[in-house]
Amino acid sequence: MKIKKLAKIAIFGIFFMSIAYVGVYLYARISPKLVIESANKLFFYDNEEKLFTGSNTKDWVGLDEISPHLINATISIEDKHFYSHHGFDYLRIIKSLYINFINREHVQGASTITQQYAKNLFLDFGKTWKRKAEEAWLTLRLETHYTKDEILEGYLNTINYGGIFGIENAANYYFNKNAKDLDLAEASILAGIPKSPSYYSPIANEENAKARQSLILASMVKNKYIDEEQMEDAKKKELVYLGFEDEKKLTTLMYYQDAVIQELQSIKTIPQSFIETGGLKIYTNLDSKAQTIMDDSIKKNMGEVPNLQIASVAMDPNTGKVLALAGGVDYSKSQFNRAINAKRQVGSTMKPLLYYAALENGFTSSTSFISEKTTFTFAEDKTYSPKNFADTYGNRPISMAAALTYSDNIYAVKTHLFLGEETLVDIAARVGIESELEPIPSLALGSEEINIMEMMQAYGTFANEGYKIKPYFIEKIEDNNGNIIYKHKEVKENVLNKSIVFILNELLSNCYAKEFIDYNYPTCFSIGPRISKKYAIKTGSTDTDHIIMGFNKDLVVGVWTGYDDNRVSEGSNNVYSKHVWVDVMEKYLEGRSDSWYSIPKNVVGVLTDPISGELANDNTKRKKILYYIKGTEPYDDSPDLDSLVPTVKEQ
């Protein structure tokens, strides 16, 4: 009886689902035809309202202009039942669910070509169930209003072939030939790229690409597109990948475009109806001059060390407009955007936040701690023994000015502990750092991971004299009829004291000053000869990361270099981030007058010995004007704060 009851329930369920599917299918049939000619054809304009890229492809070709080998390879590996299903391969879905269940992880997908085309054609707003339902609905509408050949043609002309969109562009880029002329070996290589464009790019990862090619060729044999002999000949053929492109083409521009799309996806006020219409005109803050300078510098400086990657951003600190961005060395070889999606250790670039908090809590440019090998002892006999770069110490009291210029770690940790570890966490949040930070001793040395865009926001607050601004890419968006459907609204919040920011910025401008040459050198002294203007700069290095942040009133530039797999990065690698930084700052601002900050009325400059912070006299060898809130200038009996730091053991 139970079996009969279950059978009736199953039959009823299948009948109900069939009726529901037919109803949905008929509703899709009578729904308005999707306009795929303009869908997802986003037109991107720079800050001069010049089109810098539009649509995803330059060269659309008909199905009859594409090699049959490429078509067969794509269908064989992506969707062998493409011409027989109605948008969904149900047997494949059941099989993939079973395999994923057995392996307890997602190891196999079941998306058809139509589903992938729907996802690529209409902006993907994430992987929520709502988005999946939208994707399914769009898939049905594509299938009911377009022929299989039209869907396949659109798919092949818009798919990502390793940062190169569309099969005609890909054929030209990799082999310098048209899509119709691709042979079996070339076609089976290209057909493998879309599954994971970075991983299977033959230029970035030829070994992975060849393994994928073998899988595709085997599937073509199984599906009777080719025979064994053809498969073996294709596998043996030696291919030459040209990576052919105009030398003037910006290899990092697509990173900026990706950042724009990510911001677009976060704007809640854009009507969902744009999915139906497409053709959006997106007016961005891209400064083509800045992007070209950045791109040229990356090409010039980043080719010496294999696999070393970069994230670089240039921003107007007064508005938050992101003028240029690179999320890697070359978009065609890696589409991962490190500028907007990666978090890395920021090293000593964290220290200006700490020293702002110190200045706010009574420290001055002259406040001194002893720079020496130190072990800090905490409760339960826990210890922490930070070291200075190259194990170099003053072995005497040094001023905050010297500590910042040399990036002295001992001074930073003493300051951090003196203020209380929560103080730095609080100031970081105040200037816009949203990453969750632990109040630990090493936080002062940048041991926590933070995204470079967060650091740009923090440094932008210093550069604009105390206002928190949000970095942004999109100025306005118009629909295809010219109606403005979004316009950026500026939000500025005064979160820092202007006078204290001035003092901090002056301290940061010493990082290439010859007056600080003593037992150590300023951290940016090596690029000093290339610097023609006054800038505030801070570098930071860990075992795995190198970063430099710097600014004046007109521009903030941040650059990170390191490896994606977090391997140890040699200290010598920090020169690449420095050179890219100075190239962008100097070349972008070339011809402009020096843009620095006016001295606030309650701030006074005093001639000092910059290393000790003491008042200068006739016997002082090196002299430098340091700045103070009036009434806090140095005097003869400056206090020794070392005695007030938590238990310290000298070594």
In three state form, how does the secondary structure of 207-270 look?
HHHHHHHHHHHHHHHHCCCCCHHHHHHHHHCCCCCCCCCCCCCCCCHHHHHHHHHHHHHHCCCC
Q: In what order do the strands lie in the sheet with 309-315?
A: 322-326, 309-315, 556-562, 545-551, 536-541
Terminal CA-CA length for the chain: 85
Q: 395, 411 in Cβ contact below 8 A?
A: no
Instruction: Give the CA angle between residues 405, 409, 414 to the nearest 5°.
Output: 110
Amino acid letter for position 417:
L
CA distance 411 to 431: 23
**Cα–Cα distance list, 410 to 318, 348, 379, 447, 592 (Å):** 34, 12, 19, 15, 39
Query: Of 348, 365, 442, 612, which is the active-site residue?
Result: 348
Q: Which of 463, 421, 455 is nearest to 556 (CA)?
A: 463
In three state form, how does the secondary structure of 539-559 look?
EEECCCEEEEEEECCCCEEEE
DSSP annotation of 273 reads T
| Strand, coil or helix: 631 | coil
Answer yes or no: 434 catalytic.
Answer: no
Sort strands 43-45 and 281-284 into parallel, antiparallel or unpaired: parallel
The residue to which tokens 């922490």 are assigned: 384
Answer yes or no: 442 catalytic.
Answer: no
DSSP annotation of 65 reads G
Other CB atoms within 10 A of residue 322 CB:
28
Q: Which of 346, 295, 356, 365 is nearest to 583 (CA)?
A: 295
Beta bridge partners of 165: 160
Query: Of 78, 263, 465, 475, which is the active-site residue?
Result: 78
| Continuous H helices in 509-615 | 574-588
Give the gyration radius of the chain's Cα atoms: 30
Sort strands 474-478 and 396-399 into parallel, antiparallel or unpaired: unpaired
Sign of CA dihedral 445, 450, 453, 459: negative
Q: Which of 365, 533, 336, 550 is nearest to 462 (CA)?
A: 550
The residue to which tokens 């016997």 are assigned: 619
Q: Which of 386, 384, 388 is nearest to 398 (CA)?
A: 388
For the annotated catalytic residues, the residue numbers are: 78, 348
